[in-house]
Amino acid sequence: MENRSWPKCLKCGKGDLLPLSDFGSQGAPIQYKAWVCTNPDCRYNIKIRNGEIYLNEPILDGALHTRARREYTP
Ligand SMILES: [Zn+2]
């Protein structure tokens, strides 16, 4: 059991803000690059990119990712 809890989403008050990590262009891990509400009806999100904060960017749905992955498949 993980003994930590995520901060509650202040927008909807139902979901939790979940930290997401990414990998940089050099393959270095970027921890907690973005925080996203777990409530699918809310999708409040905050992320940092190139030192700037982005609030509530639209979340891409799976179709775009699928297409991108197919293009990169050898
Ligand atoms: Zn929320």
Q: How close is the Cα of 25 to the center of ligand 1, in Å?
A: 30
Residue 49 domain-assigned (yes or no): no
Q: How many domains does the chain have?
A: 1
Residue 3 domain-assigned (yes or no): yes
Count CB atoms within 10 A of the CB of residue 34: 19
Q: How close is the Cα of 35 to the center of ligand 1, in Å?
A: 11
Q: How close is the Cα of 50 to the center of ligand 1, in Å?
A: 25
Residue 25 domain-assigned (yes or no): yes
pLDDT computed for residue 74 by the predictor: 62
1 versus 50: which is more confidently predicted?
50
Rounded to an integer, what is the distance from CA 44 to the centroid of its chain? 10
Q: Nearest 5°: phi and psi at 54?
A: -120, 130
Contact 31, 21 (CB under 8 A): yes
Contact 26, 10 (CB under 8 A): no
The confidence band for 58, taking pLDDT boundaries of 50, 70 and 90, is: confident
Residue 23 domain-assigned (yes or no): yes
Average pLDDT over residues 36-43: 91
pTM of the model: 0.65
Residue 30 domain-assigned (yes or no): yes
Three-state DSSP at 67 gives helix
Residue 1 domain-assigned (yes or no): yes
| Residue 26 confidence (pLDDT) above 80 | yes
* Residues of the domain holding 1: 1-37
Q: How close is the Cα of 46 to the center of ligand 1, in Å?
A: 11
Residue 12 domain-assigned (yes or no): yes
pLDDT computed for residue 42 by the predictor: 92
